[in-house]
A and B are shown apart, each in its own frame.
Chain A
Amino acid sequence: MAELIIETTNLTRNYGDICALKPLDLQVPEGEWLTVMGHSGSGKSTLMNLVGGLDRPSAGSLQVGGKDLLAFTEDGLARFRREFVGIIFQQHHLVPYLTAVENVMLAQYFHSVPDEAEARSSLERVGLGHRLKNRPGELSGGEQQRVCIARAIINSPKLLLGDEPTGNLDQKSTLMVMELLKELRAEEKFTVIMVTHNQEVAAWGDRTIYLNDGMLVREESRLKVAEV
């Protein structure tokens, strides 16, 4: 069995009196594609933010890649994010005044040294070799999401997080993005954690967990889903 990349014990996140994530024990083996499903407010994004080092838990333990995220300072978490994690957002979140290639280079800049050739190659891998110099406003939603994917993978992360990456895309673009992620995962061997509402998107993963009201209520492997 593969080594665990994520291991949580009683992982909890409270916002004041509201418990966004109730004590959660979760184990994710390296290389797995885990889908997190649930209604709005079920704690999906909270879990993703905690695992990605964007937020801190209120209680419990959180090990990612063998590192205890609770022990990190703010700058330590920033270093963890740039070296270990790639994030794809639903809203893309590209810097509007930078071109596609510069948006990819931005992640390189914070990681180490920007390399334009490598950034171009990354965009070519996601099929945007002809859109290098376009700014986000000149790209379609699907193209923007592919720039976001190129940016997420440019530093060869061990963990790719997707927060409803297809939430704003039409069916054709969704299919294109999912196929792209599948290809990239096969090449890069990263672990994927994807939050989605979409059952079809969830079906691309190896395993799906269902959260409800901050609590893990169901867990299914791909085989089982297929049976359902």
Chain B
Amino acid sequence: MLFRILKNSFLKRPKAIFLIFLSIVMGSAVATAFLGIAGEISHKMALELRSYGANILIEPSAAEGGGFLRDEDLPKIKTVFWKYNITGFTPYLFGIAEFSAGGRKERGVVSGTWFTKQLEIPGEDVSILGIKGIAPWWEVQGRWPEDADEAMIGAALAKRLHIAPGGEVTAHVRVGMQKFRIVGVVTTGGYEEEQLFAPLVTVQSLLQQQGKVSRVQVSALTVPMDDFGKKDPATMTKEEYEKWYCTAYVTSVAKNVEEVMAGSRAKPIWQIASAEGALLKKLNSVMLLLTILALGASATAVSTSLMASMAERSPEIALMKAVGADRFQISAIFIGETLIISLAGGVVGYLLGNQLAEIISRTVFNSTIASPLWLFPTAIISALVVSIAGSITPLRRALLIEPVTVLKG
């Protein structure tokens, strides 16, 4: 009988039912789309944020005498547990030099590094590493060095030496000298503008520090730090440590890298890591808030439609009560109706939401997304939440209907 009542009720009031259905579909679709792309957005945003610079710095540990790192250890960075999260790194070897050009002399830092380095590790994908990848905001007038005797000079140092791309600079160090052809002038807005950048191997040779590096900057995809991530690993239980180690906190990735670099100490560059974490957290909060607002708007629309429907059906409800329906039986009819509409709305909302997520992903990030399995139950649950939240007030009104008042006359 309940089925007959529901079936006939649907067939008899298609417009009202369609409005409720549409409200649920909209809520469910928006929730599906937002939640579906939330993970993708976090990932893409994290990638975008990586262009703001390295977030991990590896230096020789004080315990090892604060000397140098070994460049033969560098490929190991791309073999660690979090290797897929490490989007780039570059080594540096620093030395104090006196630069001379066109009769002018200036003291500064000669910095050996990788500009663009193709790293091939057996059994691993080929990685393109170097400063070009982790500092894409550097403005280069001219071009990046390619040959062993080519260099790029910081804008401040270039100004003092009155040198431009195409000129020559000689670097004098305690143990030797090297002539460089300047192919680019770099503006970074930081201390790098006082340095001369040359290929790592050339600088190692100049400083007679073959196979050594002073520090390594690493750029890694990490998750925002939470209270657990901020705990000191030394105080953790075994289970906590495993959980911490297997979560891509900047601290756990740093620890992971430190383990493969002999005599090293890896530490997060907090101003970068914290800013990223805060931004990603805010982004996730905005997505969640938008989802909640969309569901709230849908629930309000469902409620409004149901209120209008209840007003129209008050004689019917009053009659049911008059012939003996109690509150549970009245509720069962109206909740049954709403549940059927919400299940159908949830399925349609899921399909529509997937398409919406695909469009957003393609438009904003120029990529496709894979719909996770959990999204389907999420869409259905969103639809149920919308319908239940939207039904509360109308149902309460329905239960307050007095047959004597409505059936009078």
A, B: real partners:
yes
Interface centre among A55, A74, A110 (most CB of B within 10 A): A110
Give a binary string over A80-103; 1 marks a CB under 8 Å from any B CB, 0 the rest: 011101010111011111100010
Contact of B1 with A107 in the complex, beta carbons under 8 Å: no
**What class of interface size applies to chain A in its complex with B?**
20 to 34
* A105 CB-CB contact with B under 8 Å: yes
Does any Cβ of B come within 8 Å of A200's Cβ?
no
Q: Report B1-35 CB contacts with A as 1/0, cut-off 8 Å.
A: 11011001101110000000000000000000000
Pick the interface stretch among B144-152, B159-167, B294-302, B317-325: B317-325
Q: B393 contacts the other chain (Cβ, under 8 Å)? A: no
In the assembled complex, A78 has its CB within 8 A of some CB on chain B: yes
**CB-based nearest A residue for B316:** A95
Query: Beta-carbon contacts of A26-58 to B below 8 Å, as 1s and 0s?
Result: 000000000000000000010001000011000
Interface SS, B side: helix
Binds A, one of B173-181, B379-387, B401-409: B401-409
B1's partner among A45, A81, A114 (CB-CB below 8 A) is A114
Among residues of B, the one whose C-beta sits closest to the C-beta of A56 is B404
Contact residues in B for A106 (Cβ distance below 8 Å) = 1, 5, 320, 323
Interfacial chain A residues near B402, Cβ < 8 Å: 55
- Taking the closest CB of chain B, its distance from the CB of A86, in whole angstroms, is 9
Q: Say how far A41's CB is from chain B's closest CB, in angstroms.
A: 12
Q: For residue A222, which residues in chain B have a CB less than 8 angstroms away from its CB?
A: none
Number of interface residues of B (CB under 8 A): 29
Asked if B407 contacts A93 (CB within 8 A), the reply is yes
Tell me whether B329 is interfacial, beta carbon within 8 Å: yes
Cβ A151 vs Cβ B323 within 8 A: yes
| Residue of B316, B318, B402 with most partner-chain A CB within 10 A | B316
Q: Which residues of A contact B13 (CB under 8 A)?
A: 97
A-B contact pairs, 10 of them (CB 8 A): A54-B404, A82-B323, A89-B322, A89-B407, A93-B407, A95-B316, A97-B12, A102-B5, A109-B5, A111-B324
Contacts from A to B (Cβ < 8 Å)? 45, 49, 54-55, 74-75, 78-79, 81-83, 85, 87, 89-91, 93-98, 102, 105-111, 114, 151, 155
- Shortest 4 CB-CB distances between A and B: which pairs? A82-B324, A97-B12, A78-B326, A109-B1
| Residue positions of B touching A, CB distance < 8 A | 1-2, 4-5, 8-9, 11-13, 315-316, 318-329, 402-404, 407-409
Q: A55-B402, A98-B4, A107-B323 are in contact. List 18 more A-B contacts (CB 8 A).
A: A45-B408, A74-B326, A75-B326, A78-B321, A78-B325, A87-B322, A89-B322, A93-B315, A93-B319, A95-B316, A95-B319, A96-B316, A97-B12, A106-B323, A109-B1, A110-B326, A111-B324, A155-B324
